[in-house]
Amino acid sequence: MNNITRRLSLWAIGLSAISQWACAQAVTEARFEPLLSGTHRSAGNVARDPYRHPAQTLAFFGIRPNSTVVEILPGSGGYYLEILAPWLKDQGLYIAANRDGSQPQYQADHQKLLQRLKDEPALYSKVFVTEFRADLHPIAPLGSADVVISFRNLHNWIDQNELEGSLQAFYRALKPGGVLGIVDHRGRTDKTQTEQMGSGYVRQDVAIALIEKAGFKLDASSEVNANPKDTKDYPEGVWTLPPSYRLKDQDRDKYRAIGESDRFTLRFIKQ
């Protein structure tokens, strides 16, 4: 057992002794709304709230104050890190399963994340960072996580042939009955997945089939992150839209009016 796994295991044992009063609390959108007004949140992240609906999304995933939550690839931007890590630090546990050292192009951002955690100990001193890439590393001790969450990553894993390994890592980390929460850019149903891979979109039916093949069961879907304005036919794929604006100033007002992508929000259960 390596050092990080040992530390996480000891933390999990400690959490099991905490009073379970939080489990009796209903998981509602109202519980998360106050978290969005935290003064520590970056202006850029706050600006994305109307598109990402964080309170509704976290409530849908059933995250509680005493949950052990693993977020996959939060990066230095830390949109959900800013919301969840301070909230979970007293009773729960936030684990950032971020980049390992196998992809040099991501190391500058990974180091920026580590520095951010170090610079803001009042918020992030209890955050654990683990390595993630497919199934190469344990993202948490076996069967210890209540919830694993991933935002807009499926298209990359499918493209890199790493989806199966990634799902295996999530399955091992989750407790029996644990939740896998997935949000991603919803692809068109009149095109095959192969035809739209370069656009960054993923067909919802394809995503469900692949995740269920890995041993999860779809528990519910939500339209909270849907955007009917998204026509999914842009020159630079999903990255044409905000916040990427890959075309820069070309038709910027048009794409701003559309907003961020149409997204599916799926809740799976580990069988």
Q: Answer left, alpha or beta for residue 232, where phi above 0 means left and psi between -120 and 50 means alpha.
A: left
pLDDT higher than threshold 80 for residue 238 = yes
Is 248 a domain residue?
Answer: yes
For residues 244 and 74, give the distance between their C-alpha atoms in angstroms, rounded to a whole number. 17
- Residue of 216, 213, 130 whose CA lies nearest to 171: 216
Which positions ≥6 away from 234 have C-beta within 8 Å? 199, 240, 241, 255
Q: What average pLDDT does the segment 60-84 reach? A: 97
Does position 20 have pLDDT exceeding 50, yes or no? no
Whether 97 is in a domain gets the answer yes
Tell me the HSE value of 52 on the side-chain side, using a 13 A CA sphere. Answer: 20
Q: Are 163 and 210 in contact (CB under 8 A)?
A: yes
The residue segments making up the domain with residue 201 are: 3-7+29-270
> Residue 27: pLDDT band by 50, 70, 90 thresholds?
confident
Q: What is the pLDDT of residue 11?
A: 54
pTM: 0.91
How many domains does one find in the chain? 1
pLDDT at position 141 over 80: yes
19-23, 69-73, 99-103, 189-193: least confidently modelled range: 19-23
Does the residue 219 lie in any domain? yes
pLDDT per position as a tens digit, 179-202: 999 999 999 999 999 999 999 999
Based on the number of CB atoms within 10 Å of its own CB, is 85 exposed (0-12), middle (13-18) or buried (19 or more)? buried
Question: Is there a domain that residue 19 lies in?
Answer: no
Any domain includes 24: no
In a domain, 15, yes or no: no
- Domain containing residue 129: CATH number: 3.40.50.150
Residue 7, pLDDT > 80, answer no
Rounded to an integer, what distance in angstroms lies between the CA atom of residue 39 and that of residue 43? Answer: 9
Tracing tokens 């069988």 back to the chain, one arrives at: 271
- Can you tell me the mean pLDDT for 22-50? 87
Inside any domain, residue 132 = yes
DSSP state of 189: S
Residue 233 maps to a domain? yes
